């Protein structure tokens, strides 16, 4: 979502990364994720389905409501819903409602990497809890992470290499028009033109434009790593990555025929004269 620079009421303190409110949100995120997995594994199907729909509905309403209120035609460079975090909530909500694989794939890769990174290094200006900017920002990201966890570990909808390739392609398809808008409107959607003002992982990846290349390589590698556990054969299954060797029986000598079977050989004639 666009960086929020909301006016801070006199009674509200300014949000500080890794302050009390931030740590509380991170703790609740972890506890909620664990609870959802347990619910999915132990609860009945109707309860799990209802819980997922509640999360999806809340996420869609919060995201859409914020985007409608925040949009300002006079400032398209900061109020258009063109961040990946503006799109991930809709993918997550649709994954729950429809079960479509493409939506589930985007929720997994975007939610468990980009949304998590946003939670750890939030680009959030304005007031601390309970300021509306604080509530909307964290609700958007926490709910996406929860849905990703519910789908993956609770409902066991695991990604494949096809999903991995699709998520990479979808991300590229987002980046191209986002950069066009950046050029036309002087914006910075996706932080494609410069780093966020707050501390982030991008600070470790060098200056522009090199951090974009490093970020792309990091995404390709990390997404491959989080795909690997779901597609590798289980331990002890006897399967391996290399093609199976031909059975040794095929290269061995053929099975014995009648000529090699003593029981099938005719008896030798008796010695001496025949009567």
Q: Say what the pTM is.
A: 0.80
Share of the chain above pLDDT 70, in %: 80
pLDDT confidence tier of residue 257, bands split at 50, 70 and 90:
low
pLDDT tens digit sequence for 77-90: 889 999 999 999 99
Share of the chain above pLDDT 90, in %: 67
Q: DSSP assignment, residue 234?
A: P
Residue 238: pLDDT over 50: no
CA-to-CA dists, residue 3 to 37, 82, 84, 190, 251, angstroms: 31, 12, 12, 11, 67
Alpha helix (H) residue ranges in the chain: 20-42, 45-70, 76-79, 84-98, 101-109, 116-120, 132-149, 161-185, 210-231, 248-251
pLDDT tens digit sequence for 112-151: 999 999 999 998 878 899 999 899 999 999 999 999 999 9
Which of 93-102, 210-219, 262-271 has the lowest average pLDDT? 262-271
pLDDT of residue 235: 56
Contacts 24+ apart (CB under 8 A), 59-65: 59/89, 59/92, 59/93, 59/139, 59/140, 59/143, 59/144, 59/147, 60/89, 60/90, 60/93, 62/89, 62/136, 62/139, 62/140, 62/143, 63/1, 63/89, 63/90, 63/140
């Amino acid at each position: 979502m666009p960086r929020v620079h909301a006016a801070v009421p006199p009674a509200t303190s300014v949000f500080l990364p890794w302050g009390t409110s931030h740590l509380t949100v991170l703790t609740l995120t972890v506890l909620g994720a664990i609870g959802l997995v347990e619910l999915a594994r132990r609860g009945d199907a109707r309860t799990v389905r209802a819980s997922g729909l509640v999360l999806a509905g809340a996420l869609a309403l919060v995201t859409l409501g914020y985007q409608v209120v925040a949009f300002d035609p006079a400032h398209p460079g900061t109020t258009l819903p063109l961040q990946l975090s503006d799109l991930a909530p809709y993918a997550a909500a649709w994954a729950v409602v429809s079960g479509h694989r493409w939506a589930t794939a985007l929720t997994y890769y975007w939610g468990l990497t980009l949304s998590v990174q946003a939670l750890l290094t939030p680009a959030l200006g304005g007031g601390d809890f309970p300021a509306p900017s604080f509530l909307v920002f964290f609700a958007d990201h926490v709910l996406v992470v929860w849905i990703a966890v519910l789908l993956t570990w609770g409902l066991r909808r695991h990604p494949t290499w096809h999903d991995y390739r699709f998520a990479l392609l979808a991300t590229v398809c987002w980046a191209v028009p986002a950069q066009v808008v950046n050029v036309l409107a002087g914006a910075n959607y996706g932080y494609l033109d410069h780093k966020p003002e707050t501390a982030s992982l991008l600070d470790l990846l060098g200056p522009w434009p090199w951090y974009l290349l490093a970020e792309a390589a990091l995404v390709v590698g990390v997404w491959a790593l989080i795909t690997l556990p779901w597609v590798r054969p289980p331990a002890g299954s006897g399967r391996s990555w290399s093609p199976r060797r031909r059975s040794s029986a095929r290269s061995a000598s053929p099975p014995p025929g009648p000529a090699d079977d003593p029981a099938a050989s005719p008896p030798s004639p008796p010695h001496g004269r025949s009567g």
